[in-house]
């Protein structure tokens, strides 16, 4: 399966359960992403994201975002899109 890398988990916040992600590609609400690393392999739909504590509907490469996740992904886990394409609801 071909995947497009769009970022990496840079931090984790426990309350609420949010992963800080440094984007290397664009992302928007409704996109399906995969968080994968040594101990994690999780596919999820992005239901909400924030930049500097403000809700946003999309973000571009170079921005740092927060995305609600469960379970906790360790830092340095890679973020990609399944099949190498952004997939919206």
- β-pairing, 18-23 with 4-13? antiparallel
Give the tens place of pLDDT for each residue, 59-87.
999 999 999 887 766 676 777 876 554 44
CATH 3.40.50.300 fits 4-84, yes or no: no
Give the tens place of pLDDT for each residue, 6-29.
888 888 777 778 889 999 999 999
Q: Locate the domains of the chain by residue range.
A: 4-84
| Confidence check: pLDDT of 4 > 70 | yes
Average pLDDT for 35-57? 90
**pTM listed for this prediction:** 0.76
The DSSP secondary structure of 24-84, one letter per residue, reads: SS-EETT-EEEEESSS-EEEEE---EEETTEEESEE-TT-EEEEE-SSPPPTT-EEEEGGG
Question: Any idea of the CA torsion for 60, 62, 64, 69, to the nearest 10 degrees?
Answer: 60
Helix, strand, coil shares, percent, the chain, to 5: 5, 50, 45
> Which pair of structure tokens corresponds to residue 21?
């992600």
């Amino acid at each position: 399966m071909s995947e497009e890398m769009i970022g990496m988990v840079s931090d984790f916040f426990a309350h609420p359960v949010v992963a800080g992600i440094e984007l290397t590609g664009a992302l928007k609400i409704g996109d399906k992403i995969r968080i994968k690393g040594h101990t994690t392999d999780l596919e999820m739909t992005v239901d909400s994201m924030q930049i500097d504590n403000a809700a946003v509907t999309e973000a571009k490469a170079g921005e740092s975002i927060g995305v609600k996740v469960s379970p906790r992904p360790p830092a340095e886990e890679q973020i990609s899109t399944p099949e190498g394409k952004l997939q919206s609801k």
